[in-house]
Amino acid sequence: MKMTAYLNFPGNCEKALKFYEKHLGAKVLMKSTFGSMAGAGGPQNLPPGCTADQILHARFTLGDTVVMASDGPPERVQPMRSAYLCLSVESNEEAERIYKALSEGGEIFMPMGETFFAHRFGQFRDPFGINWMVTREKAMGPS
């Protein structure tokens, strides 16, 4: 079995992809727009609330993980509430850099700091409505 995260954006998927490329080194593998879908036949055949230049489907990698994304009608796409994308990094500096870059303009749930399980850990929602946890874990013994 394999699980892949699929992120929905309220019309700003392209901007989010560029943001993740810049700050996380994401690599866009493919993307298509609503206007490019077979048989689109013009704006009258687009899903309600979507425009021809918005993203119908995209695939990108974050490290060795494939993530999928698309735009949706703004009235139906809501910020994430109870799920987080979790990034584990190799250094305190990388944790701090990612936390600062992605949380700017978003909402901080837990400031970056040390915990009993991590040298650095923080939780936030980025400016695109995606929830993140960034951690540099401590070595933990068997339970």
CATH of the domain at 108: 3.30.720.110
Domain's final residue, options 36, 56, 77: 77
Per the structure, the complete domain to which residue 51 belongs is given by 1-77
Which tens digit of pLDDT belongs to each residue from 44-74?
677 777 888 999 999 999 999 999 999 988 8
Alpha-carbon gap, residue 66 to 34, rounded angstroms: 21
Last residue of a domain, one of 77, 94, 113: 77
CA distance 130 to 80: 6
Among 49, 77, 105, residue at a domain's last position: 77
Q: Do 45 and 94 belong to one domain?
A: no
Give the predicted TM-score (pTM) of the model: 0.89
On the CB side of 32, how many CA atoms lie within 13 Å of its CA? 8
CATH number of domain containing 70: 3.30.720.100
104 lies in the same domain as 61: no
What are 98-122's pLDDT values in tens digits? 999 999 999 999 999 999 999 999 9
Q: For the chain, what is the domain count?
A: 2
d(CA 8, CA 67): 11
86, 102 contact by CB (below 8 A):
no
The residue among 133, 125, 4, 20 whose CA lies nearest residue 65 is 4
Residues 61 and 121 in one domain: no
